[in-house]
């Protein structure tokens, strides 16, 4: 079989990164159907022309890239694969309803292993009232790949896009940030020690929260319901899958604005701080929050008139505000120093 060889003028995929590559590959595609309300460029595609719109999103996890079987239980993997697609639906201020799952698995995996994987998928579906409605299974020459496609429906007037943030809107985030990345750091540390000494018993006591945040993320359907109950429709929204900095830059880019957040306002759990201090004196919790990723929390903006409706909500934190078009995305430190935000999280 002929192999691809280096050619003069060849551009390596890693030089672009995921989002620049998507923009490049999808440039020039034209919309042929009026039923495509929104295509590429947000957490979900939006389909339909009436009051009710259908949301569609897809995610792929590849062994050795998206997960490591050394420390990932199959049941947790199934749950996570489902959860990350459901999270994309919530990032449009909507609730997921259906899920499709496609697998490519090598003969290294048994029927019993697939049972365990699907037990995790079923647990996630049951928890969030989602129906498994189809998929596909095929063989793989090596490893495991999981693709999940989630669907949902919502009123067109209640959907939130990345492109709706406007001057003076308040920036909010649910839960806490950086904990999933710290869970990964703990697992990677124990893996290295185990590889050096197969008789080593991993010491994971006291890290339950950060480990669960990485291995078993939860889509924030509770936030979507809370916003609906309080009559708040976010002006923009995205989920934090690639780090806070990257997601803020997505909103700023799509909305044509800048932003200003405050370091002391970032919600960081004490276990995240603990892991950072144990790993390295130079590892800052704020760096994990900005660049760690895989928290799957909701980052959204609201009109200032909605402040009173959410000011006492303990499940969210107001971390800053939107600034005028052409201004940078910055974080202000407690010393009143402005740091320009850069996307340093997931790129491949």
Longest dimension (CA), the chain: 65
pTM: 0.91
Q: What is the mean pLDDT of residues 151-176?
A: 97
Residue 203 burial (CB count, 10 A): 11
Coil, helix or strand at residue 210: helix
Q: Is the dihedral of CA 315, 318, 324, 328 positive or negative?
A: negative
Q: Is the pLDDT of residue 18 over 80?
A: no
Q: What is the mean pLDDT of residues 56-66?
A: 95
Q: Tell me which residue has tokens 């959204």.
A: 300
Q: Is the pLDDT of residue 150 over 50?
A: yes
pLDDT of residue 347: 43
Q: Which residues contact 296 (CB under 8 A, 6 or more apart)?
A: 83, 84, 87, 180, 217, 218, 219, 220, 239, 240, 241
What CATH class is the domain 170-340?
Answer: alpha beta
CA distances from 97 to 40, 165, 185 (A): 21, 27, 33
Bridge partners of 138? 104
The predicted-structure confidence for 180-201, as pLDDT tens digits, reads as follows: 999 999 999 988 887 777 777 7
Domain coordinates in residue numbering, the chain: 34-158, 170-340
Specify the DSSP element, H or E, that contains 124: helix 111-127
Buried b (16+ CB within 10 A) or exposed e, 107-132: eebeeeebebbbebbebbbeebebeb
The predicted-structure confidence for 235-248, as pLDDT tens digits, reads as follows: 999 999 999 999 99
Q: Please answer whether residues 178 and 268 qualify as being in contact, where contact means their C-beta atoms are separated by less than 8 angstroms.
A: yes
Q: Tell me which residue has tokens 């020690």.
A: 193
CATH architecture assignment, domain 34-158:
2-Layer Sandwich (3.30)
């Amino acid at each position: 079989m002929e192999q691809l060889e280096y050619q003069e003028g060849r551009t390596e995929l890693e030089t672009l990164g995921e989002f620049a590559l998507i923009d490049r590959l999808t440039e020039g595609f034209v919309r042929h159907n009026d039923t495509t309300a929104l295509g590429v460029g947000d957490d979900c595609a939006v389909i339909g022309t009436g009051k009710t719109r259908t949301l569609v999103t897809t995610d792929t996890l590849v062994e050795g890239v998206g997960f490591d079987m050394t420390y990932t239980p199959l049941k947790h993997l199934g749950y996570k694969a489902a959860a990350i697609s459901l999270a994309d639906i919530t990032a449009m201020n909507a609730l997921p309803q259906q899920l499709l799952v496609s697998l490519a698995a090598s003969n290294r995996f048994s029927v019993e292993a697939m049972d365990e994987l699907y037990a995790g998928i079923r647990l996630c579906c049951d928890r969030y009232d989602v129906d498994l409605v189809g998929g596909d299974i095929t063989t793989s020459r090596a490893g495991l790949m999981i693709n999940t496609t989630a669907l949902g429906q919502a009123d067109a007037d209640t959907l939130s896009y990345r492109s709706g943030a406007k001057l003076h809107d308040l920036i909010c985030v649910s839960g806490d940030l950086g904990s999933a990345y710290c869970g990964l750091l703990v697992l990677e540390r124990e893996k290295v020690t185990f590889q050096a000494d197969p008789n080593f018993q991993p010491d994971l006591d006291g890290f339950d929260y950060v480990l669960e945040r990485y291995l078993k993320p939860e889509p924030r359907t509770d936030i979507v319901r809370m916003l609906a109950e309080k009559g708040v429709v976010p002006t923009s929204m995205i989920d934090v899958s690639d780090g806070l900095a990257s997601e803020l830059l997505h909103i700023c880019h799509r909305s044509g604005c800048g932003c200003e957040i405050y370091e002391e306002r970032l919600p960081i759990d004490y276990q995240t701080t603990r892991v950072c201090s144990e790993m390295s004196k130079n590892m800052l919790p704020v760096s994990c929050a900005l660049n760690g990723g895989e928290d799957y929390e909701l980052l959204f903006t609201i009109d200032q008139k909605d402040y009173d409706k959410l000011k006492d909500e303990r499940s969210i934190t107001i971390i800053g505000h939107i600034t005028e078009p052409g201004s940078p995305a910055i974080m202000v430190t407690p010393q009143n120093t402005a740091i320009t935000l850069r996307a340093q999280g997931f790129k491949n």
